[in-house]
Amino acid sequence: MSKKKGLSFEEKRTRMLELFHEKKEPFLLKELEKLGPKLKGVVMQSVKEIVQSLVADDLVETDKIGSSTYFWSFPSKALNSVTTPTIAAILRLEFFHLQSRRLRLRSLFRLKELRALTAKRDAEFQADLREFLTLDNVFLVKSWCKEKFNLEDAELNKQFDIPEDFDYPE
């Protein structure tokens, strides 16, 4: 026994669109849920999803009249939508292009910010390093002089005008 393979999403969409074009009339969702399985082999549970995807792609029109929502699509609509892109499709495409461009610009702006921050931090580091090395050199020279000439700290500080409280910064 071979098991019947179900229809793909695209096949269901095609069949439901055919139903609209063959009947050429507006339908309530309940009517479509009855006709879909009967005439096109589309299971009732997926009819609503299929119709919503066709509406989202501007292949099926919808309008609420009173408390009822009607769906319809005529062959001329399909022909027009195939030959000329809809304004909604053009706007959607433009929106995605602009969104993509915005993301690229944000990335470039963020990169520029990070480079500026890196340059600033690098300059600060270089300044701190120079100050530390200068201080370190003073202490190395003082140490060398104390050993070489057998001098005390106070005498060395006095001869080289080094303040008594001279020390590494905290």
3-class secondary structure for the chain? CCCCCCCCHHHHHHHHHHHHHHHCCCEEHHHHHHHHHHHHCCCHHHHHHHHHHHHHCCCCEEEEECCEEEEECCHHHHHHHHHCCCHHHHHHHHHHHHHHHHHHHHHHHHHHHHHHHHHHHHHHHHHHHHHHHHHHHHHHHHHHHHHHHCCCHHHHHHHCCCCCCCCCCC
34 pLDDT higher than 70? yes
Does the domain at residues 9-83 carry the CATH identifier 3.40.1160.10? no
What is the per-residue pLDDT for 79? 61
Cβ atoms of 51 and 11 closer than 8 Å: no
Q: 105-126: per-residue pLDDT in tens?
A: 998 899 999 999 999 999 998 8
Q: How confident is the model at residue 84 (pLDDT cuts 50, 70, 90)?
A: low
Q: What are the residue boundaries of the structural domains of the chain, listed by start?
A: 9-83, 87-156
Across residues 137-163, what is the average pLDDT?
Answer: 84
Across residues 60-87, what is the average pLDDT?
Answer: 80
What is the per-residue pLDDT for 4? 65
Cβ atoms of 95 and 88 closer than 8 Å: no
For the chain, what is the mean pLDDT? 85
**pTM score > 0.75 for this model?**
no
